């Protein structure tokens, strides 16, 4: 192998990861749009299945924190601008940042399955949004929604975690 081929390998890997990140961000944005089109009929605001989190969990496991965080932020900002507006984006940013940090930290411990990581992400996403609502609306009465949001985060986290596990096992390697 020539010395030029050896030196271009890290660049090739980085280029491939950036391209995959762009595809993942687009896929997560599509999943966000699907959730806008097909809302879950429940009386508590903010409950969603979290389809975009499917992409984020796989990105954490395959690409690491930096890429998965970037994919998540691009998806949240784009979805906010396209579908939910500034306040929706603020709530999603709070939930998204808290959930991805917690998911990555749990993933790094090697003590949690992908389903457990996803469950924690679902709960933390709802918790981040709830805390943001309390701060923005200056109303602690909103915390009464927490039991419902906890339960919905656990259920959606389990479902998304199972799907992520099945899909991740079937994906080919991203890099050489």
Per-residue pLDDT of 24-34, as tens digits, reads: 999 999 999 99
Q: Which long-range contacts (CB under 8 A, 24 or more apart) does 132-137 make?
A: 132/90, 132/91, 132/94, 132/95, 133/91, 136/87, 136/90
Residue 132 structural domain: 3-170
Indicate whether 132 belongs to any domain. yes
Q: What are phi and psi of 43, to 5 degrees?
A: -75, -10
Q: State mean pLDDT over 160-176.
A: 90
Instruction: From 89, 78, 49, 53, select the one nearest 68 (Cα to Cα).
Output: 53
Separation of alpha carbons 59 and 21, rounded Å: 8
Question: Where residue 22 sits, what CATH number does that domain have?
Answer: 1.10.1760.20
Separation of alpha carbons 75 and 53, rounded Å: 10
The angle formed by the CA atoms of residues 29, 34 and 40, to the nearest 5 degrees, is 125
Per-residue pLDDT of 125-166, as tens digits, reads: 999 999 999 999 999 999 998 999 999 999 999 999 999 999
Separation of alpha carbons 65 and 73, rounded Å: 12
Q: For position 3, what pLDDT does the model report?
A: 46
Separation of alpha carbons 166 and 118, rounded Å: 13
Indicate whether 176 belongs to any domain. no
Q: How many domains does the chain have?
A: 1
Residue 97 · residue 54 · CB < 8 Å: no
Indicate whether 158 belongs to any domain. yes
Per-residue pLDDT of 96-133, as tens digits, reads: 999 999 999 999 999 999 999 999 999 999 999 999 99
**What does pTM read for this prediction?**
0.88
Indicate whether 175 belongs to any domain. no
Please report how many Cα atoms fall inside a 13 Å half-sphere around the Cα of residue 4, on the Cβ side: 0
Instruction: From 103, 109, 27, select the one nearest 69 (Cα to Cα).
Output: 103
């Amino acid at each position: 192998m020539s010395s030029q081929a050896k030196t271009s390998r890290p660049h090739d890997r980085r280029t491939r990861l950036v391209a995959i990140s762009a595809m993942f961000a687009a896929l997560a944005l599509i999943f966000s749009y699907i959730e806008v089109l097909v809302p879950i009929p429940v009386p508590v605001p903010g409950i969603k299945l979290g389809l975009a989190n499917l992409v984020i969990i796989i990105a954490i496991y395959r690409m690491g924190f930096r890429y998965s965080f970037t994919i998540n932020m691009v998806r949240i900002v784009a979805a906010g601008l396209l579908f939910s507006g500034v306040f929706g984006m603020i709530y999603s940013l709070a939930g998204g940042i808290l959930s991805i940090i917690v998911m990555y930290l749990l993933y790094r411990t090697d003590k949690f399955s992908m389903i457990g990581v996803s469950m924690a992400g679902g709960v933390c996403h709802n918790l981040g949004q709830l805390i943001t609502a309390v701060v923005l609306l200056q109303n602690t009465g909103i915390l009464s929604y927490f039991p419902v949001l906890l339960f919905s985060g656990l259920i959606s986290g389990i479902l998304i975690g199972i799907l992520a596990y099945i899909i991740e096992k079937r994906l080919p390697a991203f890099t050489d």
